[in-house]
């Protein structure tokens, strides 16, 4: 623990949250169909917040964020190993939805639950005053952290990464696509991501975890 009773209390309240099961925003027919298991890593000291969409099934089972192939790719993008990634003094992880939302009819993950961000995001952000870099992964995180500055698609928003990084008011927001295998074709079709964005991302991360 960080030795901060307020943050410890917030962690416990998040862990006990069952709002998506017991008070679904769209009514009883849309309640989460499985037992919630909120996954979040909060920190008073971390300067980097990884703001993804929602945990996948593997993370739901393990309780460890990005404990999958997507996490391996993300760590490669950041230029860090697993031990560094899971050091709570260096990285906080708080997705827009804390629980695995289930699958859609095509077998893809559903969007983050509507109940989660309005209920928890303001308190989570207020509890982590050291965060000065937000890695906004995917559409929902980008809309929350960039607001009207986000473009109409993830691809267009990510392409403008340089504009967002030049904004002086903290925290800096770096938009990223999801590191899923589903985006491999997009990554190959957009070499600027590896050539231009990733070197800057690695530099920003290195400066904050040294």
The 10s digit of each residue's pLDDT in 1-56 is 455 778 999 999 999 999 999 999 999 999 999 999 999 999 999 999 999 999 99
Task: Say how far apart CA 118 and CA 19 lie, in whole Å.
Answer: 11
CA dihedral (15, 45, 178, 72) positive or negative: negative
* Per-chain mean pLDDT for the chain: 95
Question: pTM of the entire structure?
Answer: 0.94
Q: How would DSSP label each residue in 8-73?
A: HHHHHHHHT--HHHHS-TT-GGGS-SS------B--SS-SEEEE-S---HHHHHH--TT-SHHHHH
Decide: 92 and 39 in contact? Cβ < 8 Å: no
pLDDT value of residue 1: 45
pLDDT value of residue 31: 95
- The partner residues of 49 in beta bridges, in order of sequence, read 92, 134
Q: How far is CA 33 from CA 14, 36, 65, 90, 119, in A?
A: 19, 9, 21, 34, 19
Give residue 82's region: left, alpha or beta (phi > 0; psi -120 to 50): alpha
In the chain the domains, ranked by start, together with CATH numbers, are 5-209 (3.40.470.10)
pLDDT value of residue 21: 96
pLDDT value of residue 2: 52
Which among 35, 33, 32 is positioned nearest to 115, based on CA atoms?
32
Which residues of the chain are modeled with pLDDT < 50?
Answer: 1
pLDDT value of residue 4: 72
pLDDT value of residue 107: 87
Q: Output the six-digit token pair for 84.
A: 């560094």
pLDDT value of residue 202: 98
């Amino acid at each position: 623990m960080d030795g901060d009773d307020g943050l410890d209390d917030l962690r416990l309240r998040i862990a006990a949250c069952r709002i998506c099961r017991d008070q679904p925003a769209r009514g009883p027919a849309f309640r989460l169909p499985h037992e919630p298991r909120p996954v979040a890593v909060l920190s008073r000291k971390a300067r980097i917040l990884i703001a993804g969409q929602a945990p996948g099934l593997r993370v739901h089972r393990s309780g460890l964020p990005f404990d999958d192939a997507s996490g391996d790719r993300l760590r490669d993008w950041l230029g860090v190993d697993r031990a560094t990634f899971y050091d709570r003094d260096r990285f906080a992880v708080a997705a827009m939805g804390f629980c695995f939302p289930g699958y859609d009819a095509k077998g893809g993950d559903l969007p983050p639950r509507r109940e989660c961000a309005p209920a928890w995001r303001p308190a989570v952000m207020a509890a982590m005053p050291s965060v000065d870099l937000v890695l906004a992964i995917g559409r929902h995180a980008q809309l929350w952290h960039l607001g009207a500055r986000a473009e109409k698609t993830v691809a267009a928003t990510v392409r403008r990464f340089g504009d967002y990084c030049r904004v002086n008011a903290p925290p800096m927001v770096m938009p990223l696509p999801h590191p899923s295998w589903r985006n491999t074709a997009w990554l190959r079709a957009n070499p600027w991501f590896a050539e231009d964005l990733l070197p800057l991302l690695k530099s920003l991360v290195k400066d904050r975890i040294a």
